[in-house]
Amino acid sequence: GRVEATGRGVQYALREFFREPQDVSRAGLSGSLDGKKIIVQGLGNVGHHAAKFLSEEDGSLIIGIIERDGALFNGKGLDVEAVRSWINEKGGIIGFPDAEFSEDGAAFLEMECDVLIPAALEGVINVNNASKIKAPLIIEAANGPITASGDEILKEKGSVIIPDMYANAGGV
């Protein structure tokens, strides 16, 4: 279980969040993880396992995957394992079938979704884009994906952030 531990921890943190109706309501959401639209930034070890478990076990729809060479979108949900296999075989997401491709992966951080999972890079949400983030719930699967200034902007907007120190501690 060591390989998938951090991604599993992200899943468990979200499950616990959705067990508390007051927290879910604070994020402007309702219900459970089932059917929630999720965008994942980074399909490395953590992002892959979080997306895999959330889609296969909790019924979440992974509608967007952001990678270094662009982003994929499918409003009905992406097959996480198929995307991962494509990346392993081709070295990137370009040409993946059954999804819309965009070269501007960073713009996908700003797309409408229920949950945004930055799972790759530090500082991807910052003073330049925080005001454009539409996700009401962000779970930090990477280390420090939201800068201090970005965090202040998101809090002012009412976004709920599950911090990295809690969310990605599964591997520890």
Position 172 scores a pLDDT of 65
Buried b (16+ CB within 10 A) or exposed e, 113-139: bbbbbbbbeeebbbeeebeebebbbbb
pTM: 0.97
Position 169 scores a pLDDT of 82
CA distances to 13, 55, 170 from 164, in Å: 10, 21, 10
Position 2 scores a pLDDT of 79
Position 3 scores a pLDDT of 87
Position 134 scores a pLDDT of 98
Residues 6+ apart with CB under 8 A from 28: 136, 158
Nearest CA among 1, 34, 54 for reference residue 170: 1
The list of the chain residues with pLDDT below 70 reads 170-172
Position 171 scores a pLDDT of 66
Residues 6+ apart with CB under 8 A from 100: 72, 73, 74
Backbone angles phi, psi at 81, to 5 degrees: -65, -35
Position 168 scores a pLDDT of 85
Asked if 39 and 125 touch (Cβ cutoff 8 Å), the reply is no
